[in-house]
Copies of this chain bind each other. A is one copy, B any other.
Amino acid sequence: MELWFTERQTKSLAISMRVRQNLHRERSPYQEIAVLETEQYGKLLVIDDAVMLTTADEFVYHELIAHLPMFTHGNVERAAVIGGGDGGTIRELLRHRSLQEAYLLELDERVVRVCQEYLPEVASGLSDARVRMEFGDGIKRIAEFESYFDLVVVDSTEPVGPGEVLFSREFYDLVRRSLRPGGLMVAQTESPFVNRQLMAQTREIIGGAFPETYVYLGSIPTYPSGLWSFTIGSAGPDPRQADLAAIAKMTADWPLRYYSAQVHSAALSLPPFVQEIYR
């Protein structure tokens, strides 16, 4: 017997992965959470039928969303992650010795608990003493901070359902207000092949709340089209001015698999068809 998980990524596109076993499945107060073991891409976290991560490619997403903005700033002491209950972003942030405090603002505690049990290689950092986990409405919580964080990471789900407000101007104004001078934020902003309008809108919204925006790309096989974008809103630091020698030196001893000083620059090199989105 063959078992397959299929995600309908758009109404006209689907990815299917053969399943070795179903490790866990539950309904939390907010959503359905499942962990499957696939033949192709290792363990798979599924929330409400959508691929959140696989253990074969989560390193790309988490290294890019964490290290590129961290090295753009250069000395992040306080960071917040909105969403990100799997812990992967926190795991990468914690590699930076400058980091003193990382808030995880996740709506659904069950996501964290399921990942701690079934995806410890992703979630392990959540037990670090520098991490403050808070469960509930991350937007309300971020609104309570003023000039506090150096970096806010919007590690959210799709812009539908509970994650929708994470693509609004009001939200990015709150994020901006929560940042110290010279701070920056980053959000995952979907695929330049299948979500072009959303990417344009999101950059416009972030650009309304921040003086500068920067977009970068990475290859994530289990997300629609396999090419994914991230958008930075910055009140100062410019990722193109990051200290590449410092990146090379600091990452030399880290077990990174995607991010490097070279990849930092490459990720910011947008092909013309991506630049077209913003014209």
Which A residues lie at the B interface, using CB under 8 A? 4, 6, 10-18, 38-41, 56-57, 59-60, 193-194, 217, 219-221, 225-227, 256-260, 262-263, 265-267, 269-273, 276
Query: What CA separation (Å) do A60 and B17 show in the bound complex?
Result: 25
Residues of B within 8 A of A16 (CB): 6, 13-16
Q: Which 7 A-B pairs have the closest CB atoms?
A: A226-B226, A12-B39, A266-B266, A266-B269, A12-B18, A221-B225, A257-B273
Query: What CA separation (Å) do A221 and B259 show in the bound complex?
Result: 21
Residues of B within 8 A of A38 (CB): 12
Query: What CA separation (Å) do A272 and B220 show in the bound complex?
Result: 15
- The residue in A6, A267, A272, A273 that gathers the most chain B C-beta atoms within 10 A of its C-beta is A272
Query: What CA separation (Å) do A259 and B269 show in the bound complex?
Result: 10
Residues of B within 8 A of A56 (CB): 193
Q: Which partner residue on chain B sits nearest A220 by CB separation?
A: B226
- The residue in A10, A18, A266 that gathers the most chain B C-beta atoms within 10 A of its C-beta is A266
Contact indicator B263/A269 (Cβ below 8 Å): yes
Q: Which of B39, B221, B272, B273 makes the CB contact (< 8 A) with A11?
A: B39
Contact indicator B265/A269 (Cβ below 8 Å): yes
Query: What CA separation (Å) do A225 and B40 show in the bound complex?
Result: 10
Contact indicator A257/B272 (Cβ below 8 Å): yes
Query: What CA separation (Å) do A269 and B259 show in the bound complex?
Result: 10
Residues of B within 8 A of A217 (CB): 219
Q: Contacts A12-B17, A17-B12, A225-B226: A271 and B265 contacting too (C-beta < 8 A)?
A: no
Contact indicator B14/A4 (Cβ below 8 Å): yes
Query: What CA separation (Å) do A271 and B257 show in the bound complex?
Result: 7
Query: What CA separation (Å) do A276 and B60 show in the bound complex?
Result: 15
Q: Contacts A18-B12, A221-B227, A226-B227: A40 and B262 contacting too (C-beta < 8 A)?
A: no
Residues of B within 8 A of A40 (CB): 10, 12-13, 194
Query: What CA separation (Å) do A72 and B276 show in the bound complex?
Result: 26
Residues of B within 8 A of A258 (CB): 271-273
Contact indicator A15/B17 (Cβ below 8 Å): no
Contact indicator A273/B227 (Cβ below 8 Å): no
A8 CB, nearest partner CB in chain B, Å: 9
Residues of B within 8 A of A259 (CB): 271
Q: Contacts A40-B12, A221-B227: A260 and B271 contacting too (C-beta < 8 A)?
A: yes
